[in-house]
Structure 1
């Protein structure tokens, strides 16, 4: 994991809010019936909640994905995102080691 890449991804309040929202699926409208069994949130719901343009949200989600903070899964024309809890924990552990070491 590239810690600098993750820190850069988190250096944006909207991207941090998106990660916060993704902690709880109930922050978004219910999935369509055909997507009810899928993990994650459709990018259109993220865009709607954020109130940002499609291109901005696509960019933000790409940054979060490249940093390893989210996972993306494509289903037809829709992309669903969910947090990568394992990588988030690795990042937090690495930062703690770096900042808290004696």
Structure 2
């Protein structure tokens, strides 16, 4: 089982991850989600994820990501590694370069955890 299956792929009663307002999180699930939010809690990683997710065609070469930051290539690679470990992105080596893409469905599943359930009276 891959890390992304553990972090965001668990099915709840509604066919996906239950929202925070529909059921209390168990300890294991809270630790898993905290790891994802921790990965997103760094501005560089959040920008990297945004750059990858918003790219036309759905993938970006690391050679295009590194120049966007005033950081060394090993530092960018470290941030990408943490996003991969959190199950948010995946990469494929092609020759000397790695191409990154968002793991399909992970952002929707993450958003569903934070979504206010319909009929709770909360404003959208």
- Using structure 2 for the length normalisation, give the TM-score: 0.63
Max radius of gyration: which structure? Answer: 2
Distance (whole Å) between structure 1 residues aligned to residue 109 and residue 54 of structure 2? 20
Q: Tell whether the 8 Å contact from 1:69 to 1:84 is kept in structure 2 after alignment.
A: yes
Gaps of 5+ in 1: 27-37
Q: Deviations over 1:38-97 (max 9, x none)?
A: 85111121111123111110110000011111111111211110122411111111233x
Gaps of 5+ in 2: 1-6, 8-31
Is the helix fraction higher in 1 or 2?
Answer: 1
1:45 aligns with 2:51: no
- The Cα RMSD (Å) is 2.0
Distance (whole Å) between structure 2 residues aligned to residue 95 and residue 67 of structure 1? 17
| Moved >3 Å (runs of 4+) | none
Q: Which residue pairs with 1:65 in the alignment?
A: 84
Q: Tell whether the 8 Å contact from 1:40 to 1:82 is kept in structure 2 after alignment.
A: yes
